[in-house]
Structure 1
């Protein structure tokens, strides 16, 4: 029998196992608590930033580590990993149809800005990453941000937020509230809910979220 250092329940030895493949510390946290740790972290962090819960251990979870903990959790973890990897590709765009979870590479870029979703047929603008501004070229849209495309304006207001650094509006498709602007020469990381600078959060802890944000805590690292 062994006591878990998180829940303090005494459990049989088989309830404990190596947390990540590279962990070197004692096995003193049960799999149930490790699962809860990963679940909580997925709600607030990028999958690439989830560390082992043991104090002082900086090993990060890989897909195989999560798979050993829970098949259900692995499917969510792996899906978010794929989404975040795709989102980092400059030529990739998610479909702007809120009922469609598809996305695709658009290698033509700004030279051919109209993207037609291969899954649902919805048209969107590669350059502005919004539903296609029907009746307007990209230049006309830039010159008339309050244009007469009611559908586009409604989507922009409801589904997008401006990057705190470059002010280009971006959409959150899936996953955690840790956002990264994909505009060239920006790449600013921030909290989707309160716009806090994620570089400060990463270095100093969740006290750098705004107090109104659900991730705010008074504890710093």
Structure 2
């Protein structure tokens, strides 16, 4: 006599990955549409959307590459992703990019950023004069003089207001020397 067990007679094996009876340890990512382990998912505070860490990382990187620093949940809930919450799952270069963009944004808001006007230098400089108006500056990289107010090479013998009133044709180095000689 042959005895066979049917599937309804077999005792179900306990799944190691289940967290509670009948509950799967897998979650569904709304971006890549894959089921991932819960530890691979990124929880967004104040939001019920479900995304895997890889997709959130790619979402953040894409926004940062577009110079967007206020990064929203990829769902339509308008929740903002915070750098500190994302820091553990993002690659170091993405975190560094986000920090750099936030710093640059802050500098732009305070008006403290300017560039060396010489095309072969163009170094990013910080204007830390704390409200004091400074015109003549030396670039710490190329060591040439420029006007921090007009954002051009230094215009000796002519103040910024007078320089700004000149036409583009009158602003050349030779033109400025002729004006100086005439005076």
- TM bracket, shorter-chain basis: 0.5 to 0.7
2:172 corresponds to which residue? 149
Aligned pairs, number: 144
Could you say if the C-alpha distance between residues 95 and 57 of structure 1 is closer, same or farther in structure 2, counting changes exceeding 3 Å?
same
Which one of 30, 39, 42 corresponds to residue 5 of structure 1?
A: 30
Which one of 42, 65, 85 corresponds to residue 65 of structure 1?
A: 85
1:55 corresponds to which residue? 76
Verify the 8 A CA contact 2:145 2:154 in the aligned structure 1: no
| Shift, 1:77, TM fit | 0.5
**Is 1:84 aligned with 2:105?**
yes
Deviation string 1:31-69 (CA, Å, 9 cap, x unpaired) is 11111211222233541x22222321422423x223222
1:174 corresponds to which residue? none
Which one of 66, 73, 94 corresponds to residue 44 of structure 1?
A: 66
Bigger relative contact order (CA 8 A; separation at least 6): 1
**Could you say what secondary structure the match of 1:40 adopts?**
helix
| Shift, 1:4, TM fit | 0.8
CA distance in 2, matches of 1:28, 1:46: 22
| Shift, 1:121, TM fit | 2.3
Which one of 43, 55, 73 corresponds to residue 18 of structure 1?
A: 43
Please list every run of 5 or more consecutive structure 1 residues that lacks an aligned counterpart in the other structure. 151-221
**Is 1:120 aligned with 2:145?**
no
Please list every run of 5 or more consecutive structure 2 residues that lacks an aligned counterpart in the other structure. 1-25, 174-183
Q: Let me know the Cα RMSD of the aligned residues.
A: 2.7
